[in-house]
Structure 1
């Protein structure tokens, strides 16, 4: 049995205020749906931050609707939780994922904490802040109790853990139940796969470069989603890489070589199909004025 594990698509994000970047996130999501259909998994898990905002723009809503309907046509169920970007911070508020209930999306929530996909238990909880970590831990304990009679058990969360986010975590690694075959996490934008308890704990990372500090991880590990096979004793995890729409160039340039380096970048950019993102740091000049003039 195989499933696709995806997270942190952040649809509707207009990075740097650029419409082009908003379109890039849509394009990558559409590509992910095509890849999932091609792989033909038994189901899909989205581990939160489907959208950038709890009140997404119309095009973001329509892009997701189109993707979910495509999966429905192929008889591929999708299970999802709300991430911190999806959550409206008020009591009893509903995340935008609820709009797709009639289109086939199965939302994992406090009212419906788990589903059964054949003989597979799929349970979890939406994002909880550090101030609500006690309630989250209690939920996890109840979910674990309900899962124990099933051979294959998947836990879905959108949380930072102290092992991976030592200064910004919501729960500790010891708070995560160890009886699950696969812990499908979201929130961290880098790809992570670790042995954990009776199986694996994994973050598939974001599908696009959400911040410039993700560039190094992207060059090393790519961006995309996981294809997970839980047929054996331990899950087998395959990276499915997505092709990002444009190049992201991040460089440190000495001020005394600025004009030469700009000329080099102009030549490089001229051969690209789309304008790249340039993130330049200029060193060796204390006054910003001359640097801005040359840039």
Structure 2
């Protein structure tokens, strides 16, 4: 059996609304071009629990067009679609129209292969729920020639946070496990993570091309197939006491260079290093498909804070004030960097820190009562 998998399409995405539908259509077209026996969508079909009518209509039109191909499509819901148990999530709602099959909490036999699906569940409930489904469907699973599990959970071997483990998943009675949720492509048979068809977080990890995964169950072979998409570029610009005009020109030059070669490119530029003045914000004209992540700092201010914290550590009565949270709180009280700098070298700073500590202690005492 050949299985095509496309996941985390995030239809109706706020930033990439039109692209989400275009890349769903491209994914389904690419899938059919590789002669699958079945198409699987392991969750996060939509970007939120309440898609607009336009999003639902577009999704219905696309899935309906491809459902007439004769290749069955099965889908589950992910964490982005999770609703209370007594409410139909958008994947269940759309599946009820017949444009694809809703696989949650059931076992479906396609040929001689059993497919078990489970929607996203909070990490502390997922394991028990899955074990209950397996126990309930044990007869169908034991009679099938091959068994495939479709889930949408975090796997803590691959991503931070709580989640299922590879060891536990590998102990389950399945020949193949398809998992959505994690946008990285990871192929570690029998666990397959197809990644997302859409660039959503515009960070360095998402530079890789988007696409689908095609699996031959008999030979355990896995292939990535790229889809049509807007190219995504992630670039870093570093400065040492850079002037605002210099930084602005560097951004505009890089943007023009990329757009000259790839007019439809999405561009993320990360600014690192330091500025020559206290103004770290860089004003830019509005530019299509440009996103700037500004991590620039003003060295003079940063150095002054460190010196002040060092001086505080020598005074036992206010040593606690050297922690970062209090420094942040103190800086919020200043109208600008110059005022903060001048204040750092006066006794007034110690008085303010003492007051902050006193307020913190009072708050703790009130909370305790």
Q: TM-score range by the shorter chain?
A: 0.7 to 0.9
Is 1:97 paired with 2:97?
Answer: no
1:54 has 2:84 as partner: no
* Residue 134 of structure 2 is aligned to residue 141 of structure 1: yes
User: Partner of 1:11 in structure 2?
Assistant: 11
Quick check: which has more Rg, 1 or 2? 2
Query: Aligned to 2:182, which of 188, 199, 203?
Result: 188
Counterparts of 1:30 and 1:178, CA distance in 2: 33
Q: Does 1:267 align with 2:256?
A: yes
Secondary structure (helix, strand or coil) at the match of 2:81 reads coil
Q: Which residue number corresponds to residue 124 of structure 1?
A: 117
Q: Distance in 1 between matches of 2:47 and 2:172?
A: 30
Which of 236, 241, 249 lines up with 2:221 in the alignment?
A: 236
2:214 to 199, 216, 227: 227
Higher mean Cα deviation, 44-53 or 250-259?
250-259
Secondary structure, aligned partner of 1:103: coil
Cα separation, partners in 2 of 1:263 and 1:162, compared to 1, 3 Å: closer
Q: Which residue of 1 aligns with 2:146?
A: 152
Contact 1:229 1:237 in 2 (8 A): yes
Secondary structure at 2:65's aligned position in 1? helix
More helix by share: 2
How many angstroms apart in 2 are the aligned matches of 1:152 and 1:286? 64
- Give the match for residue 310 of structure 2: none
d(CA) in 2 for partners of 1:144 and 1:286?
66
Q: Equivalents in 2 of 1:241, 1:46: separation in Å?
A: 16
CA distance change for structure 1 residues 102 and 281 in 2, over 3 Å: closer, same or farther? same
Aligned residues: 277
TM-score, normalization: structure 1? Answer: 0.85
Is 1:30 the counterpart of 2:20? The answer is: no
Indicate if the aligned counterparts of 2:77 and 2:152 stay in contact, CA closer than 8 A. Answer: yes
Deviations 1:73-123 (A, max 9, x none): 2111111111011111x232221122233324111223xx11011111000
1:285 Cα deviation from its structure 2 partner: 1.8
Question: What's 1:164 paired with?
Answer: 158
TM-score, structure 2 normalization = 0.69
Which runs of 5 or more residues in structure 2 are unaligned? 286-369
- 1:67–1:142 CA distance, 2 compared to 1 (3 A): farther
Instruction: Please give the alpha-carbon distance, in whole angstroms, between the structure 1 residues aligned to 2:221 and 2:264.
Output: 36
Cα shift at 1:11: 0.5
Task: Provide the rounded CA distance (Å) in 1 between the counterparts of 2:202 and 2:57.
Answer: 27
> Do the aligned partners of 1:250 and 1:279 also contact (CA within 8 Å) in 2?
yes
2:42–2:150 contact (8 Å) kept in structure 1: yes
Name the structure, 1 or 2, with higher relative contact order (CA <8 Å, separation 6+). 1
CA gap of 1:25–1:102, structure 2 versus 1, over 3 A, is closer
- Alignment RMSD, CA only? 2.3
Contact 1:154 1:183 in 2 (8 A): yes
Q: State whether structure 2 residue 167 is matched by structure 1 residue 178.
A: no
Equivalent residue, structure 1, for 2:64 = 69
Contact kept? 1:121, 1:154, Cα under 8 Å: yes
Partner of 2:232: 247
